[in-house]
Structure 1
């Protein structure tokens, strides 16, 4: 099974995160620049096993995600690297992935991106 998500919030506790990582070898969380949703719920401590955690692996695009854009592969799920280094989070980045405005995308018939 392969899993790719975009703009995914934290979905489970520490035990779930470890189970997911050990169960699904091909699993990637795609994050656009300053997207705020992947940081929800917020973490205030680096290690607290009762809090929500991400599973690995984050693919972070710190740009507009246009065709050919560079990205970072982040093995650490909730470290202070990649998208977690951003303090200025944005709803706009959550609604724009792969240089496409996702608001109303389906209503527009899912047009092919240019």
Structure 2
């Protein structure tokens, strides 16, 4: 089973993900990002690329697609929170999104990612 991300690693990695649009999920040890693509085909194409990568990692996001918008939440259920696998997948998602023009992210989500820094021992 994967281990929760340590406090030191959270403080190292999460601020950089926060700059890229990832936020903490209230009352969960999880991160979330809402991607907005130019159209449905781009959103679905990105999701397909991500799905293939996730299948190889045997780790799958919680996500919702409505037209050009993809709302993603990452957490490792069997570990009870955020693991390095979630962080790697978040970075891979951002990398794959760079292949599309007109992609942006919603930056007004509820919790800043800093809310998850220093919380590894509390879960």
TM-score for both structures, normalised by structure 1: 0.24
Q: Which has the higher helix share?
A: 2
Pick the structure with greater CA Rg: 1
Q: Tell me the TM-score normalized by structure 2.
A: 0.23
Which protein, 1 or 2, shows the higher relative CO under an 8 Å CA cutoff with sep ≥ 6? Answer: 2
